[in-house]
Chains A and B, each alone.
Chain A
Amino acid sequence: MSADLTAGKGRCHGTALLLVRPVQAAIELGAGGDVVAKVLNAVHHANRHGNEDDFVAVALPGMQMTRIGMVAGHDVTMFGSEESLAAVLNLDGIKLLQRRGMVRDLVTEEAWCDAGSTGSAWVRDRTCEKYTAGWLRRSQARAARRGKPLGKLSPTRGFPTDLLTLTYGTTPVHLREVIGTVSGVPLMVSTYGFSSPGAAAVLPVQSLMAERRNADAA
């Protein structure tokens, strides 16, 4: 890992938002997933090369459970400052999407993270990375290496079905959507643009899951 790159969590100002939505033809021709992957990689790149005081957060408002499992949907909404979003817009990946006519017009808008309004947080959930067969094997090897007792091993756990698996290169990132209330405290997100379960950064986004939950409740 390069020391020059930003790591860990950073603050997202949440004063501006940018919705990236593929054109209908890109979705119909099977390239909708390419758009989402390109945008997520651009955000990660921008945050890794950016300032930890000005991170970009990501919302996937169309994330939903389908027959084949959890899918990301086609829309990606980025939150940040006008400067941080401009930095993302300036990256090759985003320019490539525009050059190839894969996305609708990209317009940065003002965002209001008013405390009390409902929204959703997209949190990276790493619990599923524990108690897997590989994790148990590594734990045993580590304990043997250190000459320490491992203790009682729990059986492997099932994989929560409400998680979305994204892949950045060879790194899997498991996401969960948490519907909540915008709190007004600073939004802290990782370089991927997602928050953690302990400090969910609720973004003012009306997601598909929230809409469905409201419809079910009504």
Chain B
Amino acid sequence: MSLPKLEELSQSVWQGPSLSTGAIPTKEWMDTPVTFKPGGYAYPAKKEKLEYLDSQPGLNFPFARIWSPEEDDWLLPDNWKDIILKGLAERLDKFRSLKIFMDCCVRCGACADKCHFFLGTGDPRNMPVMRAELLRSVYRGEFTLAGKILGRLAGGRKMTVGVLKEWFMYAYQCTECRRCSIFCPYGIDTAEITIILRELLYSVGIGINWVIEPVSNSTKTGNHMGLQPLPFRDNIAFLAEDVENLTGVKLDVSFNRKGAEILFVTPSADAFAEPGIYTCMGYLLLFNALGLDYTWSTYASEGGNFGLFTNNEAMKALNGKMYAEAERLGVKYILGGECGHMWRVVHQYMDTMNGKTPANMEVPVSPITGTVFNNAASTKVVHITEFTADLIKHNKLNFDTSRNSHVRATWHDSCNPARAMGIIEEPRYVLDHVVDKWWEMPENTIREQTFCCGSGTGLNTDEIMELRMRSGLPRANAVKHVVDQHAVNTLACICAIDRATLTSLVDYWTPGVTVCGLTELVANALVQKGENRVDMPEGLRTMV
């Protein structure tokens, strides 16, 4: 799809019609059906990917087929409605949170203008209260006495194909970022509603390929990219060689090494694509400088878990791979790289989902500082940013900030580490030490209130680029503010989806800004023993 010019899109964001219908709605929302046009939806999940996943033990991805959102007939199974209603009933029973979220909204509207999708599309159904209402109306109409008797008068409706299509549209115009939830007086977590919508849709074979192919690849080869063990190893070795050529320090890198103290797991994009590869070079340099007893794994070669964007079983299976590998290698704990949603899964779900960690794992202790990470006592996974902040706090790293003199940075709080996990002060503390000065974006766009990149939860695919530019506008707008005020040229973050998607976003809305990971900036500034550096005007990005 061709992307509109910046001026056209900016105008359209505040004056144009809703994306879902191509017109300003004239009827009530229940009477306004959705229409799918090219560019308005992500490509459906490929049949063979769903079939492969469905064949795996413990996974359930039924009704694989070739279908198109643009066709009237989505080729649903005959009993699709029973499946959806039964699925919803099961989830209302299983997840008390869902039942509460369905019952307790008072329509106060506090969430309405907090969603980046609503701000970027102007579509009323993108108000979080409305997104939840898409499901809540069915809950009322099919599950509550008032709704069964009074129907629309009680805000209820029956489950129909039209409702299902509406779910598909708006479950994929939400990045599960949870910004709305911090403004909700009841703490209704719209992300969990979107999660349920997506799960229910998968139960009748409806999903998107940009999510399902990474899930399939992770199941088959260990990572989203589909990197098999040898190219995974070779890519990292290649990046290590680049670091050696730049710094003159020989790196010690190991793979699948039994008896290592620490298993390091990061998004596979860091081992494949720009700009993540510079973050990866940063990890390699940092760990080597520390003499860390760590290993990479070609089996657990993915931090990301797109299972979170499909269903509970897939999320659990993919998360389990890291721990299976931690057990096989006999490591004490896992050090996790700069990934976003990996931390949502680990921090919020795995305790009850995957249960106890393998017996060989221990409460993480930094081998350099002796700090005990009691916050990770149950999951045994330490975030690289807290690990690095602790090293700095104990004066274990020697920095020359002039090595980052090409960088005028601002900080993007990646939604999941910031809002879901509370990694808010640590990256700021690290930044304070590795660059001379950096600038915050406006108050209501950072920390817990951070704006999403607009393309998370597997929406980082090119066919919906206009939608992504719209939903990313609030974030881009805040970046532009610090670009204009302080000539910022670098947007730093701790998420691989961010690194990829913010690059497209700022190229569109505020060109000339570079996106990077935090560890890239750490490694740029790090003074190592025995180094013999070439001139590195662009830090680790300098080509040799």
Q: Do these two chains really belong together in a complex?
A: no
Binding site for A on B (CB under 8 A): none
Binding site for B on A (CB under 8 A): none
